[in-house]
Amino acid sequence: MSLALASLDVSVELEANLPCRKFDPDLWFSDSPTELELAKSLCGDCPLRVECLAGAVERAEPWGVWGGEIFERGAVVPRKRPRGRPRKEDVARDAALRVEAEARLAASGLAQGRNAVRLAA
C-alpha cells in the first residue's frame, strides 16, 4: 500500500511543476500571438512536452499551445498571425518558421508515416 501512495505523490509533485499548471491556463489558449509565443517558450523545459504534443496530434486539437507547438484548426502553425493582411516580410518569415516547425516535428517522430501532423499553409 505504501508503494501506491509513493507513486501517487510523485505524479502530484510532477504535475505541480508543469508550466501549464503553474501559470494561467488562458495563456495557452490566447488570441494574442505574443502570449502564445510565451506559452511555447514555457513548454520548452517541460518534462512531458513530447507526450503532450503527441496527444494533441492524436486528438487533432482545434487550437491552443500543446507540447510547445501552436495548433489552429487541428493543424500545427509556426506562429499565430495577428488579424489583417500580413506584411511581405511576415510571409517570408512564416515560410522559414514552417520549415523549422516541420524539423521539430520530425525530430519528435511525429511527422512520419500515416499519422503525420498536418502543417497549416
Annotated binding site for [4Fe-4S] cluster: 20, 43, 46, 52
* DSSP track, 5-72: HHHHHHHHHHHHTSHHHHS-GGGGG-S-HHHHHHHHHHHTT-TTHHHHHHHHHHHT--EEEETTEEEE
Binding annotation: 20, 43, 46, 52
Contact, 74 vs 115, CB < 8 A?
no
The identity of residue 65, as a single letter, is V
